[in-house]
Structure 1
């Protein structure tokens, strides 16, 4: 299941880079890509939660999940800007991405260890 979660988050990250590049250029991100990014991230989170419920989790998995949940909350906040047809600040976008990358790398460390 860990591999599936990593794949889901990796694909979501590719979409996130495209979304961030739009916003950093001062444009609204494509809505369809935003939804796909969110759905992939949510599927990854559900996979991690299932792993925790099965008891196959250590502290690093819990830390990765915590970081990725915080990133998801930031993503909801960014989506609220999109719904209002406003462009969020670069700091918010970079903060969301940074927390997500930290969570992803923490998760990846479980696979590589």
Structure 2
């Protein structure tokens, strides 16, 4: 289960990198469909990871990773509601924080899954 979660997060990360590129290089917000696909893939991975951590007895680092992904998800929802839906430029600092937390969570998940 954790390995499938890794794959889902990896796909979400590709979307996240594309969105960060759009924000930092093109100086505009990414399209809504890309943000929604990113969130859907990440939430699917998080759901699977939480199930594996809480029910199936995954290692403790998987649960810590899930908690960090929950934090990253909260920041992502805030970015969407505060900036994206209001059609104002996404905060670059918040985008970087969101990505940094997700990267740490992903590294912990890799450790737990493999």
What range describes the TM-score normalised by the shorter chain of this pair? over 0.9
Instruction: Give the Å deviation of 1:18.
Output: 0.4
- Give secondary structure in 2 for the equivalent of 1:87: coil
Where does residue 86 of structure 1 map in the other structure?
A: 88
Where does residue 103 of structure 1 map in the other structure?
A: 105
Q: CA RMSD in A?
A: 1.0
**In structure 1, C-alpha distance between the alignment counterparts of 2:58 and 2:113, rounded to whole Å:** 12
Instruction: Give the Å deviation of 1:54.
Output: 2.0
Between the two proteins, the alignment pairs up a number of residues equal to 112
Instruction: Give the Å deviation of 1:57.
Output: 2.2
Q: Deviations over 1:18-57 (max 9, x none)?
A: 0111112320111111100000000001001111232412
**In structure 1, C-alpha distance between the alignment counterparts of 2:53 and 2:101, rounded to whole Å:** 20
Give TM-score, length-normalised by structure 2. 0.93
Give TM-score, length-normalised by structure 1. 0.94
Segments of structure 1 that go 5 or more residues without pairing to the other structure are: none
